[in-house]
Amino acid sequence: MSTLQLPDHLLKSLMEREQKGLLRKLNKNTPAIDFCSNDYLGFSKLGLLTKTLRTTESVEAVPYGSTGSRLISGNSELIESAEKHIALFHHAPSALIFNSGYDANVGLFSCIPQKKDLVLFDELIHASIYDGIRLSHATHYKFKHNNIGSLQELIARHKSSYENIYIAVESVYSMDGDTAPLLEMVDICKMNARTYLMVDEAHAVGVFGKQGRGLCSALNIENKCFARVYTYGKAMGCHGATVVGSEALRNYLINFSRAFIYSTALPGHSIEAITAAYRLLIETNQQEKLQQNIAYFYSRTSGLKNMIKSQSSIHSLIVGNNIRAQELEIIFAKNHICARAIKSPTIKEGTERIRFCLHAYNTKEEIDQLMVLLNVI
Ligand SMILES: Cc1ncc(COP(=O)(O)O)c(C=O)c1O
């Protein structure tokens, strides 16, 4: 048998996926009206980041590779000053950059909750948070999506058995596009000793809050969160992520977060891109354009029975099974519209959907074109 041959049981898993029509494949993007990318503000697609970086003199002087992990040779004045700037922008005492949102969540959730702690997470939490929680030694339970009663019930039932409780949520959910009841969660943390809120703002940064500071900023609860995660692959149009919180949290992560310690630091060009993206948040009105499109899309679709209510960039139409979701993706593609089918097992069976992501660069005509299709399918 060739050493390159995949073992039979792995081949069988692939075959089963294929038979169920669920085989994931990498497709090349063809030009189409974009209702699927995460580039909500168009920083990437419109060339805004490229243009800003071209005029950043220091980019030429930055060597491409970071040459090592932050603790060995990959640290620099460039990264540290970017982190200081990010902390100031998000009104936090400190910030620590990770290589991606996936890394930030795994790095954070795997090392903060300890064996005698409890993590309560929303059932729709992103895979990166769940993977992090699983790597920790803490007990963990999910609560019903955005359901304060379900969260309170778990806290009441378990709080006497654990030392600390961590509540893990997204401010905007990546599949439903709805927002977490963060104010109530802050109150819950206030009422229960040693209970901490951790918020992933991946889909809120650039979309909500003054100059796109995120939903915690819009709700004025930035300093009520134990940790917040901002990712740069979505509205910010580039790559990487930051955990913001106390100086002690930063110090703890530098010492115990394996995703941070054992990985080569982001190259200087990525740090320059992140800094440029923050500049664009302040200097452009892309957020306003995005908000206008969200409002227009919402006004056109709010009557659709199976559309999940959302004020964010993400809007999902539930169709209830994988086959229909796939069919719709193909119909949209044939009409030069890119909108992705989101299928189980990525999401719960029965909630299969077609997801529309809105952008600052979508036009009313594009949204109208989408509506024509939505009215005939
Ligand atoms: C809520 C949420 N957190 C984290 C991530 C991961 O971020 P990144 O793509 O930067 O790894 C994603 C990406 O899909 C996400 O939706």
Between CA 94 and CA 98 the distance in angstroms is: 13
The two structure tokens encoding residue 92: 């936090």
pLDDT of the residue at 56: 80
What is the best residue among 102, 176, 203, 357 to mutate for testing ligand 1's pocket, by most ligand atoms within 8 Å of CB? 102
Choose among 323, 302, 287, 285: nearest CA to 371.
302
pLDDT of the residue at 276: 97
**Ligand 1 lined by 128 (C-beta under 6 Å):** yes
Q: Do the Cβ atoms of 229 and 215 come closer than 8 Å?
A: no
Give alpha helix (H) positions in 208-355: 215-218, 247-256, 258-261, 268-283, 286-301, 322-334
Between CA 295 and CA 370 the distance in angstroms is: 15
Give 358's contacts (C-beta < 8 A, 6+ positions apart).
Answer: 35, 40, 290, 293, 294, 297, 313, 314, 315, 367
pLDDT band, residue 1 (cuts 50/70/90): low
Q: Is residue 37 scored above 70 in pLDDT?
A: yes
Domain annotation for the chain: domains and CATH numbers: 31-47+285-376 (3.90.1150.10), 61-282 (3.40.640.10)
Among residues of the chain, what percentage have pLDDT more than 90?
90
CA of 175 to the centre of ligand 1 (A): 11
Q: What is the mean pLDDT of residues 239-257?
A: 98
**Ligand 1 lined by 101 (C-beta under 6 Å):** yes
pLDDT band, residue 53 (cuts 50/70/90): very high
Q: Is residue 117 scored above 70 in pLDDT?
A: yes
Between CA 268 and CA 62 the distance in angstroms is: 6
Q: Do the Cβ atoms of 308 and 178 come closer than 8 Å?
A: yes
Identify the sign of the CA torsion 144, 145, 151, 154.
positive
Half-sphere CA count of 202, side-chain side, radius 13 A = 26
Q: Could you report the per-residue pLDDT of 262-303, keeping only the tens digit for each?
A: 999 999 999 999 999 999 999 999 999 999 999 999 999 988
CA of 102 to the centre of ligand 1 (A): 6
Among residues of the chain, what percentage have pLDDT more than 70?
100
What is the best residue among 231, 313, 346 to mutate for testing ligand 1's pocket, by most ligand atoms within 8 Å of CB? 231
The two structure tokens encoding residue 115: 């064996």
Closest ligand 1 atom to residue 173 Cα is 1
Give 145's contacts (C-beta < 8 A, 6+ positions apart).
Answer: 122, 123, 124, 173, 176
Angle separating helix axes 364-376 and 286-301, nearest 10 degrees? 20
Q: Is residue 2 scored above 90 in pLDDT?
A: no
In this structure, the dihedral spanned by the alpha carbons of residues 355, 124, 266 and 269, taken in order and rounded to 10 degrees, is 30
Closest ligand 1 atom to residue 103 Cα is 11
Atom 3 of ligand 1: nearest residue by CA position: 202
What does the DSSP assignment read for 101-136? Answer: HHHHHHHHHHHSS-TT-EEEEETT--HHHHHHHHHS
Q: Which amino acid is at 14?
A: L
Q: Could you report the per-residue pLDDT of 199-242, keeping only the tens digit for each?
A: 999 999 999 999 999 999 999 999 999 999 999 999 999 999 99
**Ligand 1 lined by 99 (C-beta under 6 Å):** no
Atom 10 of ligand 1: nearest residue by CA position: 101
CA of 160 to the centre of ligand 1 (A): 33
State the maximum Cα–Cα separation within the chain, in Å, rounded to a whole number. Answer: 62
Q: Do the Cβ atoms of 352 and 318 come closer than 8 Å?
A: yes
Q: Is residue 93 scored above 80 in pLDDT?
A: yes
**Ligand 1 lined by 270 (C-beta under 6 Å):** no
Q: Which helix (H) or strand (E) holds 152?
A: helix 148-158
Q: Do the Cβ atoms of 369 and 337 come closer than 8 Å?
A: yes
Q: Is residue 63 scored above 70 in pLDDT?
A: yes
The two structure tokens encoding residue 153: 């019930």
Closest ligand 1 atom to residue 240 Cα is 10
Q: Is residue 67 scored above 80 in pLDDT?
A: yes
**Ligand 1 lined by 240 (C-beta under 6 Å):** no
Burial group, residue 40, by CB count within 10 angstroms (0-12, 13-18, 19+):
buried
- Give this prediction's pTM: 0.96
Q: What is the mean pLDDT of residues 144-163?
A: 97
CA of 231 to the centre of ligand 1 (A): 7
Q: Could you report the per-residue pLDDT of 323-341, keeping only the tens digit for each?
A: 999 999 999 999 999 999 9
**Ligand 1 lined by 200 (C-beta under 6 Å):** yes
Weakest-pLDDT range from 15-24, 42-51, 123-132 = 15-24
pLDDT of the residue at 47: 97
Weakest-pLDDT range from 47-56, 92-101, 310-319 = 47-56
**Ligand 1 lined by 100 (C-beta under 6 Å):** yes
**Ligand 1 lined by 102 (C-beta under 6 Å):** yes
Choose among 273, 274, 301, 280: nearest CA to 358.
301
Q: What is the mean pLDDT of the chain?
A: 96
Closest ligand 1 atom to residue 241 Cα is 10
Closest ligand 1 atom to residue 105 Cα is 4
Q: Could you report the per-residue pLDDT of 164-179, keeping only the tens digit for each?
A: 999 999 999 999 999 9
Closest ligand 1 atom to residue 170 Cα is 1
pLDDT band, residue 375 (cuts 50/70/90): confident
